[in-house]
Structure 1
Protein backbone atom coordinates (compact mmCIF):
# COMPACT_ATOMS: atom_id res chain seq x y z
CA UNK A 1 0.00 0.00 0.00
CA UNK A 2 2.83 2.43 0.81
CA UNK A 3 4.40 1.85 -2.59
CA UNK A 4 1.15 2.65 -4.36
CA UNK A 5 0.65 5.75 -2.23
CA UNK A 6 4.19 7.00 -3.00
CA UNK A 7 3.59 6.45 -6.72
CA UNK A 8 0.26 8.27 -6.79
CA UNK A 9 1.68 11.18 -4.79
CA UNK A 10 4.64 11.41 -7.17
CA UNK A 11 2.27 11.53 -10.14
CA UNK A 12 0.17 14.30 -8.61
CA UNK A 13 2.22 17.09 -10.20
CA UNK A 14 2.25 18.23 -13.82
CA UNK A 15 5.99 18.90 -13.89
CA UNK A 16 6.77 15.40 -12.64
CA UNK A 17 4.49 13.89 -15.28
CA UNK A 18 6.27 15.92 -17.94
CA UNK A 19 9.68 14.84 -16.60
CA UNK A 20 8.66 11.18 -16.77
CA UNK A 21 7.57 11.58 -20.38
CA UNK A 22 10.90 13.20 -21.29
CA UNK A 23 12.73 10.09 -20.10
CA UNK A 24 10.86 7.73 -22.40
CA UNK A 25 13.47 5.63 -24.18
CA UNK A 26 16.43 7.72 -23.06
CA UNK A 27 18.61 8.87 -20.23
CA UNK A 28 18.86 12.62 -19.64
CA UNK A 29 21.17 14.84 -17.66
CA UNK A 30 19.42 16.98 -15.06
CA UNK A 31 20.33 20.11 -17.03
CA UNK A 32 18.47 18.75 -20.06
CA UNK A 33 15.33 18.19 -17.99
CA UNK A 34 15.71 21.71 -16.56
CA UNK A 35 15.99 23.17 -20.06
CA UNK A 36 12.76 21.56 -21.24
CA UNK A 37 10.67 22.16 -18.13
CA UNK A 38 11.88 25.75 -17.71
CA UNK A 39 12.00 25.47 -13.93
CA UNK A 40 14.78 26.28 -11.49
CA UNK A 41 17.46 23.63 -10.94
CA UNK A 42 16.48 23.15 -7.30
CA UNK A 43 12.82 22.65 -8.23
CA UNK A 44 13.63 20.09 -10.92
CA UNK A 45 16.07 18.33 -8.61
CA UNK A 46 13.35 18.03 -5.96
CA UNK A 47 10.86 16.69 -8.52
CA UNK A 48 13.36 14.08 -9.72
CA UNK A 49 14.07 13.06 -6.13
CA UNK A 50 10.36 12.47 -5.51
CA UNK A 51 10.09 10.39 -8.69
CA UNK A 52 13.14 8.39 -7.64
CA UNK A 53 11.83 7.76 -4.13
CA UNK A 54 8.59 6.46 -5.66
CA UNK A 55 10.59 3.98 -7.76
CA UNK A 56 9.60 5.60 -11.06
CA UNK A 57 13.07 6.78 -12.11
CA UNK A 58 16.66 5.76 -11.48
CA UNK A 59 19.69 7.99 -11.42
CA UNK A 60 23.42 7.75 -11.67
CA UNK A 61 26.21 10.22 -11.02
CA UNK A 62 29.09 10.74 -13.37
CA UNK A 63 31.44 13.31 -11.95
CA UNK A 64 29.34 16.38 -11.29
CA UNK A 65 26.59 15.25 -13.65
CA UNK A 66 23.37 13.53 -12.58
CA UNK A 67 21.63 11.38 -15.17
CA UNK A 68 18.08 10.06 -14.95
CA UNK A 69 16.17 7.31 -16.74
CA UNK A 70 12.89 5.49 -16.25
CA UNK A 71 13.16 2.71 -13.69
CA UNK A 72 13.37 -0.69 -15.31
CA UNK A 73 15.19 -3.41 -13.42
CA UNK A 74 13.79 -3.82 -9.97
CA UNK A 75 10.86 -1.47 -10.56
CA UNK A 76 7.60 -2.65 -9.07
CA UNK A 77 4.74 -3.71 -11.31
CA UNK A 78 2.79 -0.72 -10.03
CA UNK A 79 5.61 1.65 -11.00
CA UNK A 80 5.89 0.19 -14.49
CA UNK A 81 2.13 0.36 -15.02
CA UNK A 82 1.98 3.94 -13.74
CA UNK A 83 4.77 5.04 -16.08
CA UNK A 84 3.05 3.42 -19.06
CA UNK A 85 -0.20 5.18 -18.17
CA UNK A 86 1.59 8.54 -18.01
CA UNK A 87 3.41 7.97 -21.29
CA UNK A 88 0.21 7.00 -23.11
CA UNK A 89 -1.69 9.94 -21.68
CA UNK A 90 0.94 12.58 -22.38
CA UNK A 91 1.57 11.36 -25.91
CA UNK A 92 -1.83 12.81 -26.83
CA UNK A 93 -1.57 16.05 -24.85
CA UNK A 94 -0.43 19.33 -26.46
CA UNK A 95 2.07 19.84 -23.62
CA UNK A 96 3.64 16.45 -24.28
CA UNK A 97 4.00 17.22 -27.96
CA UNK A 98 5.49 20.63 -27.17
CA UNK A 99 7.95 19.12 -24.69
CA UNK A 100 9.13 16.56 -27.27
CA UNK A 101 9.75 19.36 -29.75
CA UNK A 102 11.76 21.38 -27.22
CA UNK A 103 13.68 18.26 -26.17
CA UNK A 104 14.68 17.64 -29.76
CA UNK A 105 16.46 21.01 -29.86
CA UNK A 106 17.89 20.60 -26.34
CA UNK A 107 19.49 17.29 -27.33
CA UNK A 108 21.48 19.10 -30.03
CA UNK A 109 23.37 21.01 -27.32
CA UNK A 110 26.05 19.33 -25.21
CA UNK A 111 25.07 19.03 -21.51
CA UNK A 112 28.17 21.01 -20.50
CA UNK A 113 27.01 23.93 -22.66
CA UNK A 114 23.48 23.74 -21.27
CA UNK A 115 24.82 23.79 -17.73
CA UNK A 116 27.02 26.79 -18.53
CA UNK A 117 24.07 28.69 -20.02
CA UNK A 118 21.87 27.87 -17.04
CA UNK A 119 24.58 29.05 -14.63
CA UNK A 120 24.88 32.35 -16.49
CA UNK A 121 21.11 32.89 -16.33
CA UNK A 122 21.11 32.52 -12.53
CA UNK A 123 23.77 35.19 -12.04
Structure 2
Protein backbone atom coordinates (compact mmCIF):
# COMPACT_ATOMS: atom_id res chain seq x y z
CA UNK A 1 0.00 0.00 0.00
CA UNK A 2 1.17 3.50 -0.76
CA UNK A 3 2.13 5.42 2.36
CA UNK A 4 2.08 8.79 0.60
CA UNK A 5 -1.55 8.96 -0.50
CA UNK A 6 -4.79 8.27 1.33
CA UNK A 7 -6.03 4.91 -0.02
CA UNK A 8 -9.44 5.09 -1.66
CA UNK A 9 -12.51 2.84 -1.51
CA UNK A 10 -14.80 2.62 -4.51
CA UNK A 11 -18.31 1.93 -3.20
CA UNK A 12 -21.43 0.93 -5.11
CA UNK A 13 -24.72 1.52 -3.28
CA UNK A 14 -28.40 1.61 -4.02
CA UNK A 15 -31.00 4.21 -3.13
CA UNK A 16 -33.79 4.16 -5.67
CA UNK A 17 -31.05 4.21 -8.35
CA UNK A 18 -27.55 2.77 -8.16
CA UNK A 19 -24.54 5.02 -7.55
CA UNK A 20 -20.78 4.46 -7.61
CA UNK A 21 -18.16 6.84 -6.23
CA UNK A 22 -14.57 6.68 -4.97
CA UNK A 23 -14.06 7.96 -1.41
CA UNK A 24 -10.91 8.41 0.68
CA UNK A 25 -10.78 5.37 2.97
CA UNK A 26 -10.34 7.65 5.99
CA UNK A 27 -13.69 9.34 5.27
CA UNK A 28 -15.49 5.99 5.13
CA UNK A 29 -13.68 4.83 8.28
CA UNK A 30 -14.85 7.92 10.17
CA UNK A 31 -18.48 7.47 9.05
CA UNK A 32 -18.60 3.73 9.80
CA UNK A 33 -16.55 3.71 12.99
CA UNK A 34 -14.16 1.13 11.51
CA UNK A 35 -10.42 1.60 11.06
CA UNK A 36 -8.87 2.26 7.65
CA UNK A 37 -6.86 -0.94 8.07
CA UNK A 38 -10.02 -2.99 8.70
CA UNK A 39 -11.73 -1.50 5.65
CA UNK A 40 -8.77 -2.08 3.34
CA UNK A 41 -8.27 -5.64 4.57
CA UNK A 42 -11.96 -6.53 4.16
CA UNK A 43 -14.06 -4.00 2.20
CA UNK A 44 -16.90 -6.54 2.22
CA UNK A 45 -17.49 -5.53 5.86
CA UNK A 46 -19.39 -2.60 4.39
CA UNK A 47 -22.02 -4.75 2.65
CA UNK A 48 -25.60 -4.41 3.84
CA UNK A 49 -27.62 -1.69 5.50
CA UNK A 50 -25.53 1.23 6.76
CA UNK A 51 -25.59 3.49 9.80
CA UNK A 52 -27.02 7.02 9.58
CA UNK A 53 -23.58 8.71 9.31
CA UNK A 54 -22.61 6.51 6.35
CA UNK A 55 -26.03 7.03 4.75
CA UNK A 56 -25.55 10.80 5.07
CA UNK A 57 -22.10 10.56 3.44
CA UNK A 58 -23.50 8.49 0.55
CA UNK A 59 -26.49 10.80 0.12
CA UNK A 60 -24.19 13.83 -0.11
CA UNK A 61 -22.25 12.09 -2.90
CA UNK A 62 -25.34 11.42 -5.01
CA UNK A 63 -25.74 13.48 -8.17
CA UNK A 64 -29.55 13.35 -8.26
CA UNK A 65 -31.26 16.71 -8.54
CA UNK A 66 -34.46 15.33 -7.01
CA UNK A 67 -34.03 13.22 -3.89
CA UNK A 68 -36.73 11.39 -2.05
CA UNK A 69 -36.36 10.57 1.63
CA UNK A 70 -34.86 7.09 1.70
CA UNK A 71 -35.92 4.44 4.14
CA UNK A 72 -32.68 2.50 3.76
CA UNK A 73 -29.27 2.72 2.13
CA UNK A 74 -27.47 -0.49 1.30
CA UNK A 75 -23.88 -0.93 0.13
CA UNK A 76 -23.78 -3.69 -2.47
CA UNK A 77 -20.09 -3.61 -3.48
CA UNK A 78 -16.82 -2.23 -2.10
CA UNK A 79 -13.31 -2.39 -3.46
CA UNK A 80 -10.09 -0.90 -2.06
CA UNK A 81 -7.69 0.86 -4.42
CA UNK A 82 -4.73 -0.78 -2.66
CA UNK A 83 -6.32 -4.13 -1.78
CA UNK A 84 -3.87 -6.68 -0.47
CA UNK A 85 -3.19 -9.72 -2.60
CA UNK A 86 -3.92 -13.08 -1.02
CA UNK A 87 -0.18 -13.62 -0.53
CA UNK A 88 0.22 -10.21 1.15
CA UNK A 89 -2.77 -10.93 3.38
CA UNK A 90 -1.31 -14.29 4.44
CA UNK A 91 2.07 -12.65 5.10
CA UNK A 92 0.38 -10.02 7.26
CA UNK A 93 -1.60 -12.65 9.18
CA UNK A 94 1.50 -14.83 9.58
CA UNK A 95 3.47 -11.85 10.99
CA UNK A 96 0.69 -10.96 13.42
CA UNK A 97 0.32 -14.57 14.53
CA UNK A 98 4.10 -14.84 14.99
CA UNK A 99 4.09 -11.69 17.16
CA UNK A 100 1.24 -13.10 19.22
CA UNK A 101 3.00 -16.44 19.65
CA UNK A 102 6.23 -14.72 20.66
CA UNK A 103 4.37 -12.74 23.32
CA UNK A 104 3.84 -15.94 25.35
CA UNK A 105 0.08 -15.48 25.59
CA UNK A 106 -2.25 -18.46 26.18
CA UNK A 107 -3.39 -18.22 22.57
CA UNK A 108 0.00 -19.34 21.24
CA UNK A 109 -0.98 -23.04 20.96
CA UNK A 110 -4.12 -22.22 19.00
CA UNK A 111 -2.20 -19.92 16.70
CA UNK A 112 0.48 -22.55 16.18
CA UNK A 113 -2.25 -25.05 15.27
CA UNK A 114 -3.72 -22.54 12.82
CA UNK A 115 -0.35 -22.02 11.14
CA UNK A 116 0.15 -25.79 11.01
CA UNK A 117 -3.24 -26.25 9.37
CA UNK A 118 -2.58 -23.51 6.81
CA UNK A 119 0.76 -25.10 5.95
CA UNK A 120 -0.81 -28.57 5.70
CA UNK A 121 -3.41 -27.20 3.27
CA UNK A 122 -0.66 -25.56 1.22
CA UNK A 123 -2.04 -22.06 1.81
CA UNK A 124 1.21 -20.78 3.33
CA UNK A 125 4.82 -21.92 3.20
- Structure-1-length-normalised TM-score: 0.26
Structure with more helix by fraction: 1
Structure with more strand by fraction: 2
- Structure-2-length-normalised TM-score: 0.25
Task: Select the structure with the greater relative contact order (CA < 8 A; seq sep ≥ 6).
Answer: 1
Larger Rg: 2
